[in-house]
Structure formats: structure tokens, C-alpha cells
Amino acid sequence: MTDALAPRALILGSTSRYRRELLSRLRLDFDVVSPEVDETPLAGETPQALASRLALAKARAVAARFPQAVVIGSDQVADLAGEPLGKPGTHERATAQLRRMRGQTVIFQTAVAVVCQASGFEQSDIAPVRVTFRDLTDAEIEAYLQAEQPYDCAGSAKSEGLGIALLEAIDNDDPSALVGLPLIRTCRMIRAAGVKVL
């Protein structure tokens, strides 16, 4: 009887340091486990569908290894007119991404999923963030990339850092979503899964 009432472990199924830092804001004890999920887009998959599928796949993969835990999975895909833009990985690819995005509105599709295999709990949601980039010069792009080197960020920019200077506007309803984990939605789902947040 006591075991049924014991709080479940909370696990972040992610290798992202940004998501780990965001989840830490909630002052909850949690572990971090790599989900080891193939992130290759499916043929014809939209950025929104890709982000949603990967968030759920990551949560399910970790929940399969830790069935008693409440597991959070998340994924973000930058959506430029329906085309998915991933993490650039290199300076050259980041330069090309920012050149394509200048003067454009990009939707950062940030998905989150919460799964507890033991209780059968599974929910997911997506927090779209509309980001309008300034009409950047090549010199501004180069200066930014040299300063911040955001090669591990979808869309090649960190809005929580110097990347904010690249932008005209951000429009969303979950302020941490652009950084990589929509905490309002995450709180709602982990509460529903039985995790006490406050």
C-alpha cells in the first residue's frame, strides 16, 4: 500500500543541457537519461509532426527502461515555410540557416510528452513559437556566430543570449518553449501524471 502512494521518480529523457537547465527551474529532483532515438525525419513529415513524434518517442523509449517513473520527452524543430531546420552542427550550416531566415518568420515547433508506463499515463502537446528575424546583414550573422557558436540549437540562434539581437519579435504563450522545453505545458502534464510541482 505504501509503494502505491510513494512519489514516482521524474526523468528527463533528453541529452539537451538547455532542457536540463529549464527543468531545474521547477526545483524538482529528477534524473537525466539519454533516449537514444533516431531523429531522422520521415518522408513528407511536417516540422510539427516531426517534433511531436520525436517528443513522444523519446518519452516512451526512456519509460520502457524505467516503467515506474514519470518521463518527460521533448523535441524542437524550426519550421521555415513548412521545411524543417534542425541543429546546424557547423559554422557553415549555421551561416546558411541564418541567411535563409533573415527577414522571415520561423515557427519553432516545441513538443513535450509525458509518459508513465506503470500507470498508463501518456500526454503530449506542442507549443509553437513564431519568431520574426530581422533582415540581417552577412556581417551581423558572422559576428553573432563567432560570439555565441549556437551550433547545437535548432535555427542557429539562442534567444536567451545574444541571439535576441537577431530578432524583431517573438510570439508565444509559453515563454520557455523557444529555449527548448515549454514549462507551462510540462507542469500541467507532470501534475496530471501525479508529480507534485509546488
Q: Give catalytic residue positions.
A: 75
Check: CB of residue 88 under 8 Å from CB of residue 97: yes
**Grid cell listed for 82:** 513548412
Per-residue CA distances from 5 to 2, 8, 113 (Å): 5, 9, 23
What is the distance in angstroms between the CA of the first residue and the CA of the last residue of the chain?
A: 24
Check: CB of residue 39 under 8 Å from CB of residue 89: no
Buried b (16+ CB within 10 A) or exposed e, 10-19: bbbbbebebb
